[in-house]
Chain A
Amino acid sequence: RKEVEQDPGPFNVPEGATVAFNCTYSNSASQSFFWYRQDCRKEPKLLMSVYSSGNEDGRFTAQLNRASQYISLLIRDSKLSDSATYLCVVNENSGGSNYKLTFGKGTLLTVNP
Chain B
Amino acid sequence: GAVVSQHPSRVICKSGTSVKIECRSLDFQATTMFWYRQFPKQSLMLMATSNEGSKATYEQGVEKDKFLINHASLTLSTLTVTSAHPEDSSFYICSARRTAYEQYFGPGTRLTVT
**Residues of A with Cβ closer than 8 Å to B?**
4, 31-32, 41-45, 87, 91, 94, 97-106
Contact = CB atoms under 8 A, between A and B. Distances in A.
B50 to A, nearest CB: 12
Contacts of B91: 41
A45 B105 contact: yes
7 contacts: A43-B106, A43-B108, A87-B44, A99-B100, A100-B34, A100-B49, A103-B44
A98 B32 contact: yes
B60 interface: no
Interface in B22-61: 32, 34, 42-46, 49
Contact of A100 (B46, B106, B108): B46
Interface residues of B, number: 20
Contacts of B44: 44, 87, 103
Contacts, number: 42
Question: DSSP class of B's interface residues: helix, strand, loop or mixed?
Answer: strand
B21 interface: no
Interface in B49-105: 49, 91, 93, 95, 97, 100-101, 103, 105
B58 to A, nearest CB: 12
B103 A101 contact: yes
Nearest to A2: B43
B8 interface: no
Contacts of A104: 43
A97 B100 contact: yes
B49 to A, nearest CB: 7
B101 A102 contact: no
Nearest to A45: B105
B7 interface: no
